[in-house]
Amino acid sequence: MDSKITEKKGDLLASFAANARQYGIVGALIVIIIVFQFLTGGLLLQPNTVVQLIQQNAYVIILAVGMVMVIIATHIDLSVGSLVGFIGGCVALLMQDMHMNWILAIFAGILIGIAIGVWQGFWVAIVGIPGFITTLAGMLVFRGLATTMINASIPVNNSSFNAIASNYLPNILGFWGPFDGLSVVVGIIAIVAFAWMTLNNRKKADKVGLEVGPISATYTKIGLASAVILFLTYEFASSGNSSQGGIPIMLVIVGLLVLVYNFILTKTVFGRHVYAVGGNRRAAMLSGINTKRVDFSLYVHMGFLSAIAAVAILSRLSSASAATGNSFELDVIAACFVGGTAVTGGIGTVSGVVIGAAVIGVINQGLSIMGVDSALIQTIKGLVLLLAVAIDIYSKRKR
């Protein structure tokens, strides 16, 4: 009996250790939110402020879900900020100067992003130039092209295009008291779906003999996620008015990308190959994995997501400028490392970088509400990044 109790305690401790980093990031985010909620006099968690937080920081999550795969495979992409500026300028020129339909202009921008990803993937995977050097060159090249192409700024006057970043889903269910009905229904569905998927994944893992850990940890995970979804549901349901729903269109776009890329990274052969290459590239090659194809595909994905981020930023700002995207790569890389992605590769999750992006976004938003100088904001974010990497290195040495 004692041996079984000891074994059970050992399993519990092992599970806690495996999830400690993820829970630690969530705990840090909660602490940061509480601190800024106090420092801003309660303004941080106002419904409209939360919506603005999502709309203004959507580009970080969009780019981070691609960057995490690149970093897992031991590469880096320093060009994403310049790509956002260049592709955004191309889309703006197509709509304003060539009078292209806004939907066709978006597809053209996506094709440009994919073409750039093919270009950079060629140099990394086929020629063998390290991703750091290739994308550093790309950062300079595409920033220069954006500056040459955009003299001052290109205003975008298409109301349908600008609505992507500023509008909400239509309020098709009306108001339930003071709350937007659609937001309430979507929130309930999200909670039920998350709980079902979490329990179903546990059941499948247990069926094939994988380590699943104590059921209490699973219930804790479901409880934390449900609390977050309930909070966001309240915020969105409270932000609606008589003409629009409370769920931002940009949140729907970001949510779909997160779900798709989480599936790619965790449920597909390509995702397993990314982790294998990042864990041990030589062993992956010996096991028959085409590492060049993996590297090439990663930069194609990064080009595609850069185009999506460019459309999001262009829609929010309603104009393109040569300076758009400056320092975006720093926020994106910081979100990955703060979210638990290992500096040495092989470790990282889409859910982790979403939390990391939330940390960066809350810091940006909270300090901006407080009126802190932008230079000091950069300093604070740099210290947060340094701390996150130091924790990662320390935990590895301790193990």
What does residue 287 show for φ and ψ, rounded to 5 degrees?
-85, 0
Please tell me the predicted confidence (pLDDT) of residue 7. Answer: 42
Please tell me the predicted confidence (pLDDT) of residue 12. Answer: 42
CATH of domain 2-167+249-398: 1.10.3470
Please tell me the predicted confidence (pLDDT) of residue 295. Answer: 95
The tens place of each residue's pLDDT in the chain, 399 residues long, gives 444 444 444 444 434 444 556 667 777 788 888 888 888 887 777 777 777 888 888 899 999 999 999 999 999 999 999 999 999 999 999 998 888 999 999 999 999 999 999 999 999 999 999 999 999 999 999 999 999 988 778 888 888 898 888 888 887 777 777 778 888 888 899 999 889 988 888 888 777 777 767 788 788 888 888 888 888 888 788 755 444 557 888 989 999 999 999 999 988 999 999 999 998 999 999 999 999 999 999 999 999 999 999 999 999 988 888 888 888 898 899 899 888 888 888 888 898 899 888 888 888 888 888 888 877 888 887 887 787 777 767 766 666
Residues of the chain with CATH 1.10.3470: 2-167+249-398
Please tell me the predicted confidence (pLDDT) of residue 244. Answer: 52
Please tell me the predicted confidence (pLDDT) of residue 6. Answer: 44
Do β-strands 319-321 and 179-180 pair in parallel, antiparallel, or remain unpaired? unpaired
